[in-house]
Amino acid sequence: MAGGTGRAPLHLALGDSLATGAWPGFPRPWLLEPGGARVLGVPASWFDHPDGAYPALVARACGARLVSLAGSAGTLPRLVGRDGRATPALRAALARRPDVVTLSAGANDVLAGLARRGGAARVLRLGGLLWRAPGGPALLPRLVDPADRDAALRVMAGRLDHLLALLAAPGRTVVATTYPVGDGAETTRRALVGPVNAAIRDVCAAHGARVADLERAFRGHGRRDPRAHRWISSVDGMHPTARGHRAIAGLVLAEIATAAAGPAG
C-alpha cells in the first residue's frame, strides 16, 4: 500500500464493534467514562479497544495513518443516507483520499430491521443466554422470522450497495469482512449470521471489493474450542479476542496484497 504524491498511505476504517476491538473480546476495567454515546446505559467508548483491533494492526503493518469512523453498535446509516449520499463524516473522511478502506458492517442493521418488525428484541434479550446455554443456539431460528430477516437483509444490502459505490476510486483497495459464527452452531449460521454474510459477499462481488471471510476462517476457533485455538470471546461467543483480531488483520493484509499484485497472468 502506497500513498499518492509521496505521502504516507491512509487507511480508513469503517464499521461496528468488530472493527473497534470491543469488549468482551478485550476485557476492560469496570470503570465508566463520563459523557459520550451509550450502549445499554454504558458509554460506547468503554466497550472499545481500538489499539488492539484489526484496523490498527493493519495500519501499523502497512506503515499507514489510520482514520476510523468505526464504533460499537455502528450501522450503515451513520455512513450513507437513504438517498445514497455520504454522511458528512464519511464525506470528510473520503476527502482525505484514503488508499485502503476496511469495512465490518451489516449485522447491526439487520438486527435493527428486525427490531422495527418486533423480532430482534427477543433475540437481543435472550442472546446472551443462548450463546452460553448448551443447545441454546438451536432455539435461535424460533426467534428469527425468515420473512422479517429477509426484508431486513434487503434494506441492509441496499445501503451497503450505496456505500461501496461511494468508496470506489481508482487505486483504492476496499476490504470488507464477514462475521464469524462464534459458537460454531450450524443453526445460528443458517438463521442469521450466514444470510448476513452471504449478502455481504454478493454486494462486494458486484462492486469488485475484496472480502476477508471470517465465517470460514474462524471455523475451529470458536468459544467451545481449546483455549489455544480460540479466536472468540468465551463471554459472549461473538466478539474476537486479541488473538482473533491478529488473525483478522492477517486475512485483511492478504487481501490487500492480492489486490496490489493485480490480475494473475
Residue 227 pLDDT > 80, yes or no?
no
β-bridge mates for residue 101, sequence order:
12, 174
Question: Per the omega criterion (within 30 degrees of 0), is the bond before 24 cis?
Answer: yes
Residue 30 pLDDT > 50, yes or no?
no
**Residue 131: its pLDDT value, please?**
43
Domains of the chain by range and CATH? 9-260 (3.40.50.1110)
Tell me how far apart the alpha carbons of residues 134 and 146 are, in angstroms, rounded to a whole number. Answer: 24
Tell me how far apart the alpha carbons of residues 12 and 16 are, in angstroms, rounded to a whole number. Answer: 13
Give every CB contact of residue 50 below 8 A, 6+ residues apart in sequence.
20, 21, 56, 68, 70
Residue 4 pLDDT > 70, yes or no?
no
Residue 175 pLDDT > 90, yes or no?
yes
Tell me how far apart the alpha carbons of residues 247 and 264 are, in angstroms, rounded to a whole number. Answer: 25
Mean pLDDT value across residues 100-106: 98
Is residue 115 exposed (0-12), middle (13-18) or buried (19+ Cβ within 10 Å)? middle
pLDDT tens-digit profile of 107-134? 989 988 877 776 544 554 444 444 444 4
Residue 86, SS3 per DSSP? strand
Higher pLDDT, 105 or 145: 105
C-alpha cell at position 140? 435461535
Tell me how far apart the alpha carbons of residues 251 and 260 are, in angstroms, rounded to a whole number. Answer: 14
Q: Are strands 65-68 and 210-212 parallel, antiparallel or unpaired?
A: unpaired
**Residue 222: its pLDDT value, please?**
77
When the pLDDT of each residue in the chain is averaged and rounded to a whole number, the result is 82
Count other C-beta atoms under 10 Å from residue 181's C-beta.
26
- Residue 2: pLDDT band (50, 70, 90) is low
Residue 7 gets which letter from DSSP? P
In percent, how much of the chain has pLDDT > 90?
51
Whether 136 contacts 65, CB under 8 Å: no
**Residue 36: its pLDDT value, please?**
40
